[in-house]
Structure 1
Amino acid sequence: MIGGLMVPRLVVWCLSLFLSKGCPATATTIGTTATTGIVVGITCSSLAFWVVCPIFSMATNAFDTIITNHGAVVGGVLACVTVKASMTGYYHMVMLPIIILQMEEGGSMSFFGMLDMLALVMVSAGICLASAIKPRASGEDLNALRGLRINLGWGDYVEACYPYMERDWVVMLGAYIGAFLGGTVAGVTHAKATAYGSLTFHSDRLYNVVDISQCPVIHICR
């Protein structure tokens, strides 16, 4: 966010500076790009190292303590919040950065990554499977099967289930109940995972392989 605010102002300032010095267009472009990248990179890296990381480290430790003491309730509530955030467009803005920061801090997997898998991916897969088995409209089964395939194969495209959720309040309620139960299990077991991944971890050890085709070794062998 800070970098995004800095870039346009720096670009305008650099362009004005280089052009006022009589630099040709190519040199102006290269100089503006390099200067902007260096300044923004150093500024954001410094803020991340000295401000963001220490704060998030303390927050992560506090969160781990809360999960240890109240895992079932906290996990279930956060899973429902995850569903709502995904449906309202806040997933990539909030959830993904938290997952990445948790993995960086803990050196392994993320609890929010597990919520992504249980509350979003598996719930979407269940709804798509039900819609494929009993479609309500022509062609709905094909769309649902496509969503199911991507859900289970790639851990992605969770929005495939949103039309079915918004169409029927029972499906919507079932999705939140499923997410809550999944979050409760994650909170009780302290399970961790990655977003868009296939390896589920429990206490930093391999717990279950959802889709072996996503393992890095498999892709290297291909």
Structure 2
Amino acid sequence: MKNIVIIGSSGGNLFNLGGAKPVQLLEEILKQAHAAGLNVKNIQFIAAKESMDTAKSNTAAGIYGYKENAVLPLFEASLKEVNHEAAKLDQMIADSIRNGEVDGIIAMSADTKAVNKETLAAAIESKLPIVGTGGTSMAAMTSMGANVISSSGTTGSTSRTRAISFISSLCKHWNIKFNPIIGSYEKAQQTNAAPWKNINIRGIMVSSLPGFIAMALILAVSQIPALKGLTDIFDLMINALPVMLAVIAAKQVSELDEVSIIAGVIAGVLSVQGGIIGGIIGGIAAGILVQFFFRKCIEWKFPITTVNIVSGGLSGLIAGLIVYYLIGPVALQAGNLIKEIIEQTVAFNPILAGVLAGVLIWPAILGGVYHAAILPIVLLEMEKTGNSFLGAVDMVGLVMVAAGINLANIIAPRDRGESAVAAPGFLINMGFGTFVESAYPFMFSNKIVFGGALVSAGIGGALVGLFNVRGTAYVPSFTAPFLSNNITGFIIAMAVPLIVAFLITLAANKLPAKKKAAKKSEDEVAV
């Protein structure tokens, strides 16, 4: 196993690109080093509270080291005092190099003339391979005769891309196989795994929901006569939806943070004409290409700044142009076809369509179909009009029904403990328009309550069809009617299923008590 040390500081430009968060920056290097089977022998990293370009001797700073397999602050004081203390650690690392205990060095904005001079002198004597960033410091090391095998500036880089570049260069030098970890800290995903395995349409849709709700809010406010000018903002936001979805898709697929975000933005802008389906396709393609170009550029030993420019810019451009010229028109037609089918179905018999949607929406969410199939259709409807038929059914058939069930269990629970369980669920149902899962315990434990939920949802759906309501869930219940196309109709459609679900659940909860009382009377008569 090769031993490496990490030296340097939070730097000037580096401060704005990860240096201000030293623990996260260093942990990313540790993660990549462990993936390659390298051992981090020691760390001497000086982090100031501001960029070294403007820092003074009295600027607050700290030394970060490596103890007990963790990055820890070793000493905190003014920058002058920290530098004095860091010199001791510098000498310690230099001694370990001369004792043959270190095989390579990672340097970030290192100080070649003061706090890192002993380490670098020992490294030059031992001809240790050095990789790092910081244009001035790396150039100084090279002129001193250091064995710099890879160097780059920090512009355009991130903590993750720098760490991968450092470890990749050292591994190439030592002929060690290295599969970089490019996923999150909690969920590592290696680059040798197919990026398309990260594609999750449901995850993309759910993550994008706040953007659609924001659009619905603008639509509602624009209905106020004095604010009619906001209709232009609404149209602008519709065009922004594909960009938003592309960014989310690219980031989820590639997991390369800022690099993938840039690729997603470029691809999304070029995918606008394809609607939200075009945006999703463009973002997914950009995410896959980001991983491909990033890996190739690292293999070709491009400077990390160039790696990010190529993988972020080129990936987004290629994916976006493909959607713009080839996929966009087809994607737009597909989206319009789905919306047209919904509209025609509702137009044929709106009440029947509402009943079916209301009754089936509970089995859909229980079976895991809702987020995979219904939510995308809701968002496709909202892309066109800012609200949705199925979105209205969601609010009345799921949220209001769950609220009715929870309310009944607050007022007249079968057991005292159920009231405490139902109260938070009811508040979230009414206050945020979500968390229908809160009704599951009561539905699963009582067939009457479960059947009541289906009946109530069917009635709510019928009212949505009757009043031709278009709306959305995921907003506070008292604001939902104002985001719809029919305020009065939506209020009625929301109130009725809530009351029906409440009454059925209330009756179901009282049955066990009546049976228990009747049994007690029978026992007394028998005695």
TM normalised by structure 2 equals 0.36
Aligned residues: 209
Q: Give the aligned residue type for 2:389.
A: F
RMSD: 2.9
Query: Which residue in 2 is equivalent to 1:67?
Result: 346
1:193 aligns with 2:474: no
The aligned runs of 1:128-139 (5 Å cut-off) are 128-139=406-417
The 8 Å contact of residues 166 and 172 in structure 1, kept in 2 or not, is answered as yes
The structural deviation recorded for 1:39 is: 4.0
1:117 aligns with 2:431: no
The aligned runs of 1:72-111 (5 Å cut-off) are 72-105=351-384, 107-111=385-389
The structural deviation recorded for 1:121 is: 0.4
Query: Which residue in 2 is equivalent to 1:50?
Result: 329
Larger radius of gyration: 2
Identify, as 1 or 2, the structure richer in strand. Answer: 2
Residue segments in structure 1 that go unaligned for 5+ positions in a row: 211-222
> CA-to-partner distance for each residue in 1:79-119, whole Å, 9 max, x for gaps?
122211212222222222212211222x2321111001111
1:165 to 443, 450, 464: 443
Change in Cα spacing, 1:123 to 1:27, as seen in structure 2 (3 Å) is same
Change in Cα spacing, 1:18 to 1:206, as seen in structure 2 (3 Å) is same
Q: Secondary structure at the match of 1:207?
A: helix
The structural deviation recorded for 1:56 is: 2.8
The aligned runs of 1:173-184 (5 Å cut-off) are 173-184=451-462
Q: Which stretch of the first structure deviates more once superposed, 66-75 or 2-11? A: 2-11
Q: Secondary structure at the match of 1:192?
A: coil
Question: Percent identity between the aligned chains?
Answer: 31
Residue segments in structure 2 that go unaligned for 5+ positions in a row: 1-200, 202-280, 492-527
Greater length-normalized contact order (CA 8 Å, ≥ 6 residues apart): 1
Q: Which stretch of the first structure deviates more once superposed, 28-37 or 124-133? A: 28-37
Partner Cα distance (2:362, 2:324) in 1: 31
Q: Which stretch of the first structure deviates more once superposed, 113-122 or 47-56? A: 47-56
> CA-to-partner distance for each residue in 1:55-99, whole Å, 9 max, x for gaps?
332332343233223112111111122211212222222222212
Q: Give the aligned residue type for 1:73.
A: L
Partner Cα distance (1:100, 1:48) in 2: 20
1:151 to 426, 429, 444: 429
Partner Cα distance (1:46, 1:130) in 2: 56
